[in-house]
Structure 1
Amino acid sequence: MKKFLFAVSAVTLSFSAMPASFANGGPYAVDDAGIATPGMFKLETWTSFANNGDRVYLASPGFTLEALPFVEFELTMESRRADGEWATTFAPAAKIALRDIDEHGYGLALSVGSGHAGVIRNADTIYAVVPLSLPVNERLNLHFNAGVERDLTENETVGVWGMAAQVMAHDRLELIGEVFGAENDRPGWQAGIRPFLFDGNVALDIVYGRNLDGERADWLTVGFAVEF
């Protein structure tokens, strides 16, 4: 079975200049240590198109309970076409905050789930990833991921990794770039812009990527995230 490359729904830590309602969200690969706003529901959805004909349509609702403000729950529903065949997967996941960035000066979390920890998911895997977030200044954050993924079909475990930089270029515009990969596979990368619309209540993502699923293909992704 093809090993899909590492990613968890991309996350955005709150900058002082960033709209506070978006602690995380989007189609990026590298996870950060932030947790969604307790007591709020979020919806992330995006569609991705590759020049080799592959397609991805994805919706990912999630929430953080006020009674458990350090745990974020998520269910990703995805329909994708790969090699001319369509498949639909449902992938539950949870992220546990281990260190709060405001309190400790850095963020640390643990993300676990079934399905693939990736932009393109595989229902026959489980994963555990540790995201580390380091603020350089009030407009730049760096994120580093390390973890493992277990292929239940092939009985194989591989290491996964990722690095990302997020720059708040304007009070309503973020720039994001990342690289990510898995053992013995080609690394992938993505870069894009995230404008915040409707007084910061909606985050729009426009992303270009390369080699997202281990094959040399170009990807264009458009999506949005909202909390309510």
Structure 2
Amino acid sequence: MRWTPWMHGLVAAVCTAPLMAHAARPMNTDDARVVDDKSCQLESWAKRTDGHTELWAQPACNFTGNLEVTLGGAWTREDGGMRRSAQLIQGKTLFKPLETNGWGYGLAVGVSRDPRPGSGGGHDTYAYVPASFSFADDRLVLHTNVGWLREQGTHNNRLTWGLGSETQLSDTNWLVAETYRQGVGKPYYQVGLRHWLVPDRVQVDATYGNRFGGEGGHWVSIGLRLLSPKFLP
């Protein structure tokens, strides 16, 4: 495959990422959707928690019509310095695309790593099934995830799950809420607002999240999502 200028630009935009690629910002629970055919998106956000700030970037493209490929990562500012804290590559496909007042499901598979010293080394491997359900002409959409995570540092296998909702408040505003679990300990929860500055092209969001029981501390995040028109060959 010959590398073109836009491909170099895409790789240059990748910093680093979380254990799993997120659904459409600002949710962690993934949806049964992929980026439009021959199009790309860039999701970026800042997350403030427990005295440090994480900066994320996750570009994703759909080259074939039913395969969304995500590259991503994060930088973390702590102890007066900035360091790369995560890297990820993921592929997602749909077996049944989500339809209005219907449902859909797919499969996502990925590999992630934390390059920081003392992180345990190795790569985490994961897979999960996202399923989504549309109600009231898409004004309410529910998402469920069930999956598996292989922690290479400890060689443990973990069950992962998520349950989330998107509720339309107006033509450009949405309420999002979710709970999810990606490893050991109590589940997390997150609530937030999503606003379209330019419908289907430019989105901003803000969230508050925590762990049930207060374990692990709370966080706030703000994000920006950019979606391109069809432009890939």
TM-score w.r.t. length of structure 1: 0.80
Which position in structure 1 is the counterpart of 2:185? 185
Give unmatched runs, 5+ long, in structure 2: 1-17, 114-120, 229-233
- Give the equivalent residue in structure 1 for 2:98: 101
Structure 1 residue aligned with 2:10: none
What is the deviation of 1:8? 3.2
Higher relative contact order (CA 8 A, sep 6+): 1
* 2:28 aligned residue: 29
Q: CA deviation at 1:128?
A: 0.1
Aligned-partner Cα distance in 1 for 2:76–2:122: 12
Aligned partner of 1:70 in structure 2 is 66
Residue ranges of structure 1 left out of the alignment (5+ in a row): 11-24, 117-121
Counterpart contact for 1:167–1:176, Cα < 8 Å: yes
The CA RMSD measured in Å over matched residues stands at 2.6
Distance (whole Å) between structure 1 residues aligned to residue 186 and residue 142 of structure 2: 22
How many residue pairs get matched?
Answer: 201
Structure 1 residue matching 2:128: 3-state secondary structure? strand
Amino acid at match of 2:36: T
In structure 2, what is the Cα distance between the partners aligned to 1:103 and 1:140?
10
| Distance in structure 2 (CA, Å) of the matches to 1:104 and 1:165 | 14
After superposition, give the CA deviation of every residue in 1:175-212 in whole Å (9 maximum; x if it has no partner).
Answer: 10000014541110110000100355211010111139
- Show the counterpart of 1:140: 140
Aligned position for 2:153? 153
Residues 114-129 of structure 1 aligned to structure 2 (within 5 Å): 114-115=111-112, 124-129=123-128
Separation (CA, whole Å) in 2 of partners of 1:131 and 1:206: 23
**Identity %, equivalent residues:** 26
Alignment of 1:1-228 (within 5 A): 8-10=21-23, 25-50=24-49, 52-65=50-63, 68-80=64-76, 86-102=83-99, 105-115=102-112, 124-138=123-137, 139-182=139-182, 184-211=184-211, 215-228=215-228
Whether the 8 Å CA contact 2:47–2:221 is kept in 1: the answer is yes
Contact 1:6 1:161 in 2 (8 A): no
Structure number, greater radius of gyration: 2
Q: CA deviation at 1:100?
A: 1.4
Q: Is this contact kept in 1: 2:54–2:76, CA < 8 A?
A: yes
Contact 1:90 1:123 in 2 (8 A): no
User: Relative to 1, partners in 2 of residues 1:164 and 1:130: Cα closer, same or farther, differing over 3 Å?
Assistant: same
**Deviation digits for residues 125-170 of structure 1 (CA, Å, limit 9, x no counterpart):** 1100101101122200110100000001111110000000110111
Cα distance in 1, alignment partners of residues 151 and 78 from structure 2: 18
Per the normalisation by structure 2, the TM-score is: 0.78
Amino acid at match of 1:8: A
- Three-state SS of the structure 2 residue aligned to 1:101 is coil
Alpha-carbon offset, residue 76 of structure 1: 0.6
1:215: how far off?
4.0
Alpha-carbon distance change, 6 to 61 in structure 1, aligned in 2, over 3 angstroms: closer
Q: 2:205–2:222: 8 Å Cα contact kept in structure 1?
A: yes
- Per-residue Cα deviation, 1:69-99 (whole angstroms, up to 9, x for no partner): 1110110121125799844332110101111
Q: Distance in 1 between matches of 2:199 and 2:208?
A: 25
Q: Is the 8 A contact 1:130 1:146 kept in 2?
A: yes
Q: 1:74 to 1:38 in 2, by over 3 A?
A: same
Contact 1:114 1:123 in 2 (8 A): no
